[in-house]
Amino acid sequence: MNKNLTRASLARAVASSRLAGYSLSAVVALSCSIVGATDADAASKRLYRGSISQSVYAADRLMTKGKYAEAAKYYQSALKKNPKDTNANIGYGLALAKQFKLDGADEQFNKALKRDPNNPGAHAGKALTMLHRLNSSSNTIRKNKDNILREAENEARKAIDSDRSTPEAHYALGMVYKEQGKFGDAAGEMKKALQLDSQYSDGYTGLGMIQLAQNNSGAAASNFKQAVRLNTGDWTAHYGLGQSLLNQGQTDAALKELNIAQYQFPNSWPVRLALGKAFEMQGNTVAAIREYQESIRIKPENAAAYLGVSNVREGRGDLELSIAELRSGLELMPNNEDLLLRIADQSLRVEKIDDAIKSYEGVLGVAPGNARAADGLTTAYFLKAQKETTGGYFGDSDFDHALSMIDRAVQMNPNDMRLRLAQAKLRALAGEEVNLAGLGAPQNDGERVSYAQALMAQNRFTEANTEIQTVLSHTNNAKQAFGLADLTLMLHDLDNAEKAYKKAATFPGGADRSRRGLAKVATARETARKNLTLAKDMARKKMTGSAVDTFHEAVFSNPKNPEARLGLAKALEDVSKATPVQIRETAFQYRAYIALSPQLPQKEQEKFLAKADKLDSKAGKREKRDMASR
């Protein structure tokens, strides 16, 4: 080593080569012989053995600046001069790993281990290379994630067993723990690494990434800032700082850091994903789509990017295009809970009810206790009941399968109010007597909306309307108001949708979208009017089958229209050789008509109720007769 090295440069040189696993005594002796005893204390924090070549020293300095490709050339130069230079093998391996040239990195670490089987730096390097491999899109690697993590953990432990004072060994084990979801253990290892070397930038970066995973963005930002101060070329630290700032709503500051990270490592899918989110938050949807798609190009099995694209498409009203984008992701990740749930929600909004049912069931197949999916599934059946028949498929195997899935979810989470309400909705649709009071009062707005649907399934429209009005009174910003407006419009609760859109217009920035929403409500009212007019015309012409179908469309378009309910009931009565299911539906529609006509004279109400009771009795006798004839 050149004896003219300055104290600062010696400290950097010693710091950069600690992975080689050299002894503490050699470091102290070396430092004292060159710069005197005053630098011995600084050098004693490092691990070194033997001498370091000029090329390795120069490469190490480049590594601390994030110039990995340039550093690799210097390591190669050192190896040409001395093929047995273990320091150069390990440094070169790390430089290649930082560039994701993982096979080459492994080759260098293996060469070091062949000469020194217990070298802590080489074992730590191999562990980190294995972790990098998990970023691959290869199905083989994705399927073997658990095995790869076990091997990486084994390598990291070998590094620690070889020398517990190697910061990189603790860092490697900490990153393995992070991937395994053991965040407490992971943070503990990072802190050990930093106790061994308070200037170890990767330790601060690793700790920051763990804190990000724990949703502790403030603490994460502090550690990322320290990492950047120590190594301005650490793209991961810039990315982490940008992501943590983004989580805290500091979009402009986040973009600054993310752009640095993108410049330093253009092919990072997490950086592109974060940039997409930042641009989306700024309303720059064109740039957001570009970054999300670039993230997908780099790592196709990246669900968050597909969801990001979906957010933008949905915001523009392009739901069909959004669903198509999501299905592209589903081809690679067929059991992804988030993609399935988004497809289901959006399919419901474009009235592709069967598609929505299939996707909600897909979510429940992967995550049986998912309350959102259970609620969505029952909403889909609620809409299907309005569109097709209130009870036409009650004996259908698909409906029975859905009910069994909801029952299973309730068994897993018996105290989840939304799941129990979902169960109540389906059972009510099946014609069962469900005591909603026994479920207890809803405690939040999500439960109130589900409770309202369960009430509507029992024709308790006035009570349902009270629940929706309560939710509307709780909205205190445009996002909440629009969320309720969109939901009630999807349910064709046109009066409440109109009220919600009008309230949304009173909040800052809500006027334009409110106008679009009110236009949709007006269109829905006109559709309902046309369906009802056409259905009544068909009924007058004794086109009974077509009249029933069109009255169903009228009820679906506006389920709170009493005239549509009455017309459907009368049309169903005209059906020749009506099935028990059709007879029961006729009774249901008469009761719905009464519930929606509070001004109806008492005698008229009693007449229709008596008719409904007779129809239920008739359906029961038909069912018994049919059972006996089988």
Instruction: Give the separation between CA 628 and CA 35, rounded to whole angstroms.
Output: 104
Tell me the mean pLDDT in the region 4-11. Answer: 39
CA-nearest of 592, 586, 591 to 573 is 586
The least confident of 29-43, 53-67, 118-132 is: 29-43
Q: How many other CB atoms are there within 10 angstroms of residue 157's CB atom?
A: 16
Residues contacting residue 585 through CB under 8 Å, at least 6 positions apart:
389, 390, 391, 392, 572
Q: How many other CB atoms are there within 10 angstroms of residue 293's CB atom?
A: 17
CA-nearest of 265, 315, 376, 340 to 509 is 315
The least confident of 371-375, 392-396, 524-528 is: 392-396
pLDDT, residue 50, reads 56
Alpha helical stretches, state H, 317-444: 319-332, 337-349, 353-366, 371-387, 397-412, 417-429
Tell me the mean pLDDT in the region 236-255. Answer: 96
Residues contacting residue 611 through CB under 8 Å, at least 6 positions apart:
587, 590
Residues contacting residue 461 through CB under 8 Å, at least 6 positions apart:
455, 560, 595, 596
- In the chain, pLDDT over 90 holds for what percent of residues? 60
- pLDDT per residue over 74-90, tens digit each? 999 999 999 998 888 98
> What's the longest Cα–Cα distance across the chain?
111
The least confident of 21-25, 183-187, 373-377 is: 21-25
Token pair recorded at residue 358: 């299939």
Instruction: Give the separation between CA 532 and CA 566, rounded to whole angstroms.
Output: 11
pLDDT, residue 400, reads 77
Q: How many other CB atoms are there within 10 angstroms of residue 608's CB atom?
A: 20
Q: Which single residue is written with the structure tokens 């899935």? A: 405
Instruction: Give the separation between CA 127 and CA 208, rounded to whole angstroms.
Output: 20
- pLDDT per residue over 167-226, tens digit each? 999 999 999 999 999 999 999 999 999 999 999 999 999 999 999 999 999 999 999 999
In the chain, domain spans = 1-52, 351-448, 578-630
Q: Do 347 and 317 contact (CB within 8 A), yes or no? A: no
* pLDDT surpasses 50 at 2: no
pLDDT, residue 389, reads 61
pLDDT, residue 473, reads 95
Helix, strand, coil percentages for the chain (3-state, nearest 5) = 75, 0, 25
Tell me the mean pLDDT in the region 260-278. Answer: 95
pLDDT, residue 544, reads 92
Contacts 24+ apart (CB under 8 A), 495-503: 495/560, 496/465, 496/468, 496/469, 496/472, 497/521, 497/524, 499/472, 500/472, 500/475, 503/472, 503/475
pLDDT, residue 82, reads 92
Exposed e or buried b per residue across 552-577, where buried means at least 16 C-beta atoms within 10 angstroms of its C-beta: bbbbbbbbbbbbbbbbbbbbbbeeee
pLDDT, residue 29, reads 31
Tell me the mean pLDDT in the region 126-144. Answer: 85
pLDDT, residue 14, reads 41
- Full DSSP string of 276-298: HHHHHHHT-HHHHHHHHHHHHHH
Q: Do 285 and 312 contact (CB within 8 A), yes or no? A: yes
Quote the radius of gyration of the chain (alpha carbons, Å). Answer: 33
User: Which position has the higher pLDDT, 137 or 244?
Assistant: 244
- H or E stretch covering 545: helix 544-557
Residues 21, 24, 29, 34, CA torsion sign:
positive
Q: Do 480 and 456 contact (CB within 8 A), yes or no? A: no
Backbone angles phi, psi at 604, to 5 degrees: -65, -40
CA-nearest of 520, 372, 509 to 450 is 372
* pLDDT surpasses 90 at 414: no
User: Which position has the higher pLDDT, 332 or 57?
Assistant: 332
- pLDDT per residue over 457-509, tens digit each? 888 999 999 999 999 999 999 989 999 999 899 889 999 999 999 999 999 98
Domain at 351-448: CATH code:
1.25.40
CA-nearest of 487, 453, 450, 449 to 468 is 449
- pLDDT per residue over 294-346, tens digit each? 999 999 989 999 999 999 998 888 999 999 999 999 999 999 999 999 999 99
Q: Do 453 and 491 contact (CB within 8 A), yes or no? A: yes
Token pair recorded at residue 61: 């300095």
pLDDT, residue 287, reads 96
The average confidence (pLDDT) of the chain is 86
pLDDT, residue 241, reads 98
Q: Do 437 and 411 contact (CB within 8 A), yes or no? A: no
Residues contacting residue 252 through CB under 8 Å, at least 6 positions apart:
none
Instruction: Give the separation between CA 241 and CA 254, rounded to whole angstroms.
Output: 7
* pLDDT surpasses 70 at 397: no
pLDDT, residue 436, reads 84
CA-nearest of 497, 491, 504 to 520 is 497
pLDDT, residue 183, reads 96
Q: Do 496 and 521 contact (CB within 8 A), yes or no? A: no
Instruction: Give the separation between CA 140 and CA 134, rounded to whole angstroms.
Output: 10
Residue 61's pLDDT band, with cuts at 50, 70 and 90, is confident
pLDDT, residue 508, reads 93
pLDDT, residue 304, reads 96
Exposed e or buried b per residue across 408-439, where buried means at least 16 C-beta atoms within 10 angstroms of its C-beta: ebbeebeebbbbbbbbbbbbbbbbeebebeeb
- pLDDT per residue over 558-568, tens digit each? 999 999 999 99
Tell me the mean pLDDT in the region 220-243. Answer: 95
Instruction: Give the separation between CA 443 and CA 518, rounded to whole angstroms.
Output: 30
Burial (Cβ within 10 Å: 0-12, 13-18, ≥19) of residue 454: buried
* pLDDT surpasses 50 at 380: yes
Q: How many other CB atoms are there within 10 angstroms of residue 401's CB atom?
A: 12
Tell me the mean pLDDT in the region 514-541. Answer: 95
pLDDT, residue 466, reads 95
* pLDDT surpasses 80 at 35: no
Q: Do 245 and 257 contact (CB within 8 A), yes or no? A: yes
pLDDT, residue 257, reads 97
- pLDDT per residue over 574-611, tens digit each? 998 888 888 988 999 999 999 999 999 999 999 999 99
